[in-house]
Amino acid sequence: MWQSVLERILKRLIVEGRLRVTWPDGTSRDYGPGGGPTAEVSLTDDSIIRELCRNPVMALGEGYTDGRIDCAPHKLYEFVALLVRNQQSGKMPSWFTAMDRTRVALRGIEQRNNPLRSQSNVKHHYDISDDLYRLFLDEDMQYSCAYFADPDVSLEAAQKAKKDHIAHKLLLKPGMKVLDIGCGWGGMALTLARDYGAHVTGVTLSENQLATAKRRAEEAGLADRTEFRLLDYRKIEDRFDRIVSVGMLEHVGYPHLQEYFSKVQDMLTSDGVALIHTIGHTAPPVPTSPWIDKYIFPGGYVPSLSEVSAAIERSGLWATDVEVLRGHYGPTLNHWRRRFETALPKVRELGYDERFIRMWRLYLVVCEAAFEETRQGVFHLQLSKKQYAVPTTRDYLHGHSEAELLHAAQ
């Protein structure tokens, strides 16, 4: 019975390309018109068929992780991308659409991330071994979207370009007091201190990241220009000339967007500038994947531009510049995924089992497919209290003197 239900779902869902499914009894069948992307997958246990019918997203994640859904590692991206693409254009069951709408409606309740819950969420993802992250990130441990002005540059070069792009938008001057919200392993803070002469305070809720950031500052001789603290941003009482936040807004949760931007407004000096780098949807709000929420990023939420814009408007801040970075995070994740696969012997040496490897592989694949196949990108939100706190054109980003343009603007 359940196999016939899933077959009917696949016939309606796959409207582009072709998916070959091998069922637990060894039989295979193709779904879709062909003429486009192709993929193949094996279902190895009857129980996964029922679960895919009832809760497809969670079942896909759990089924692949425990081996009841099997796909060759080098073909997993094609399989997931085919599903994601067809989810955008095919006909999902009415109950699945209703479930999504319900979860969107309830996001204000599900994502109430108070300080205690926020710290628990962060520990789940970031307080695993730093050595794992070192295996697939760039040498500066940038765990966010890189900036590929040239698609052929290395991940290291693209991550450096990202940091410089952000620094230029911050219009830094030596000696400025900068806050880095969600500072990670300290790479952005160290860059702003070393290359731009800023005094940077970085805050994080991850004990691993805090220890690594402090050690790196000492080793780089930047301990006198940086301070790293284990602290929720909502508890900060100081004011700053500049605020930067890279990849942290996704952890705030929908109910706290207004609180976040109001706090940024409160922490900026009168002529201060903030640059918020965050994943976002250029589409109506969509719920967080239940599998991602349970196993990868508890409490996470990727906001839509409409949600972010409304929160900024209510905060009283000027949105002095909004840039949508497209076609950058997909390649970033592709670099991470290929490095992760290459490093599997070392991943196993660190004590991670095959279940973890399959889970982490799927996480990287799902995220890459989301950026390549859906309306998901990265927002650069440049914010200030005053209209003329930044130049009135973007010329300063393209080789002109920032100091001259700031002087002219004033």
Q: From CA 151, how far away is CA 149, in angstroms rounded?
A: 6
Alpha-carbon distance of 60 to 269, in angstroms, equals 48
Nearest-angstrom CA–CA distance, 243 and 326: 23
For 402, the token pair is 């920032």
Per the CB < 8 A criterion, the answer to whether 326 and 38 are in contact is no
Residue 367 a catalytic site member: yes
Burial class (CB in 10 A: 0-12, 13-18, 19+), 316: exposed
Give CA torsion, residues 259, 212, 364, 137, to 10 deg: 120
Residues 360 and 340: beta-carbon distance below 8 Å: yes
Q: CA distances (Å), 80 to each of 19, 92, 124, 256, 272, in order?
A: 11, 16, 25, 31, 43
Q: What are phi and psi for residue 299, nearest 5 degrees?
A: 80, 0
Catalytic residue among 53, 71, 183, 367: 367
The answer to whether the CB of 294 falls within 8 A of the CB of 269 is no
Enzyme catalytic residues: 367
